[in-house]
Amino acid sequence: MAWIDIPSLRVRRVRQRYTRHPSEGGLERYTYRDPLRGEYRLSVDADGLVVDYERFARRLGPDG
């Protein structure tokens, strides 16, 4: 994958791995790993859109 640093716009190649886990609460669950940033857990909805990406992003509801 290509990682683009902000604000330098330097592009780095990053080897990454995703491990799929059993679904839970209607969400697909994965663990992401790369040698630079470590390990993160994430979940996606039925459309494959991220719901929660540990220490990175979380979808907010309509009320914020």
Hey, where are the domains in the chain? 2-58
pLDDT of residue 14: 87
Q: Mean pLDDT in the chain?
A: 91
Structure tokens at 57: 């992003």
CA distance 43 to 21: 10
CA distance 39 to 2: 17
Query: How much is the pTM?
Result: 0.72
Note whether 28 and 43 are within 8 A (CB): yes
Q: Is the pLDDT of residue 63 over 80?
A: no
For residues 22 and 1, the model is more confident at: 22
CA distance 46 to 48: 6
What is the tens place of the pLDDT at every residue in 23-54? Answer: 999 999 999 998 888 999 999 999 999 999 99
The model's confidence at residue 64, banded by pLDDT at 50, 70 and 90, is low
